[in-house]
A and B are shown apart, each in its own frame.
Chain A
Amino acid sequence: MDYSIFTKTILAKVLKALALINNPEIEPAVRQLNQEILFREVGQSVYAKIYEMNAFDFEIEFTTGAGIDDRYYGLAKVAGASVATGALGLDEYVENYIDNTIGKAQKDAVSNARQSGKFPTVTRTESSSACEWCQSKTGTFTDPDSSIFARHGGCKGKIVTEGFKSRNGLLGNYASS
C-alpha cells in the first residue's frame, strides 16, 4: 500500500492548527514552542499508525518502531517565523514532513520485519517531474537502504510496502482503532 495517500486527509487540518498557533501578537519563541508541540504530536500519531498498519501487514504486530526523528524542530522554527518572513512554500514543507514521517514508519517496519524473518517488498515509483535524486530511488526492493524511503519536497512518488497479508488478500481483517 502507498501510505502517503493519507497525507491529504490531515494536511488542511494541520495547516489550520499551525495558523491558530501563529498569532502575531504572541512572542516568536512561544509560537515556535507550540509549533514544536503540534508537529511532534502529529508526527508521533502518524508514525505510530503507519508503523502499526505495516506491522499488521508484515505479521510483526508484537514490535514497535524507533519513533520519529527531530526534524520537527526545524519545521517549527520555519512555521513560527513565517508570520514575519512569509509563508511561501510552508504548506509544501508540512506535506513533506508528514510524507517523510510516513516513510520513516515504513522503513522501520520493513527493517524490523527482516529482523523477524519476514520479507516484505518495497516498490517506489516517481513521476517524470520528480527530481533526479528521487527518480534514482525507483525500483522494487526486498532489502532496501534507508534512502529509498526519503523524499524531497514536491516529489510525490509512491512508496508501496507489501507484506504477507497484502500478498494474500488478508488486509480486510485489519481493525482500525
Chain B
Amino acid sequence: MASETQKTYIADLATVKTKEFKEVKELILASGIVSDQAEIVNSAQSIAQITDALTDLQASQFIDVLIKSKTPKRENAYSSKRIDKTIAALDDIKKTIAAWTF
C-alpha cells in the first residue's frame, strides 16, 4: 500500500505536471503501472481514489513517471475578463452576506 508521503507527493506532482485530472488518468494508464486496476482509475473522481489503490512500488513508479513528464506551459496572469468576472462574483457574495438578517 502506498504511504501517505507518496500519496501527497503524487498529488503535488500531478498538480504541477498536468493541467487536468483526465491527464493524470491517461498518464498512469499509458505507463502500464496499473493494468490490473484500470477500472479503478477510469472511474476515479479524485487522485486519492487512485493512490489508495496503489502499492508502494506502483506509487514509486508513478512518481518516476510524473517526474519524467514534461511540465506544461502555463500563464502567470488571468485575462482581464476573468478578473472582472471573479471580482463581480466576490462582490455579489459580499452583498449577500451584508443582507443577512434575523
Contact = CB atoms under 8 A, between A and B. Distances in A.
B89 interface: yes
Interface residues of A, number: 40
B89 A16 contact: yes
Interface in B41-91: 44-49, 74-78, 82, 85-86, 89-90
Given A13-B93, A16-B89, A24 B19 contact: yes
Given A53-B100, A174-B101, A174-B102, A10 B93 contact: yes
B97 interface: yes
A9 B90 contact: no
A-B interface, 6 closest residue pairs, ranked by CB to CB distance from nearest: A86-B46, A88-B46, A88-B45, A171-B102, A176-B101, A17-B89
Contacts of A13: 89, 92-93, 96
A21 interface: yes
Contacts, number: 117
Interface of B: 11-12, 14-21, 23-24, 44-49, 74-78, 82, 85-86, 89-90, 92-94, 96-102
Nearest to B12: A81
B48 to A, nearest CB: 8
A118 interface: no
Interface string A1-23: 10000100110011011001101
Contacts of B101: 53, 174, 176
Given A21-B86, A26-B74, A42 B93 contact: yes
Contacts of A66: none
Contact of B11 (A49, A81, A176): A81
Contact of A20 (B46, B49, B85): B85
B96 A10 contact: yes
Nearest to B25: A86
A1 B82 CA distance: 37
A176 B75 contact: no
Given A85-B24, A172-B102, A20 B86 contact: yes
A46 B85 CA distance: 21
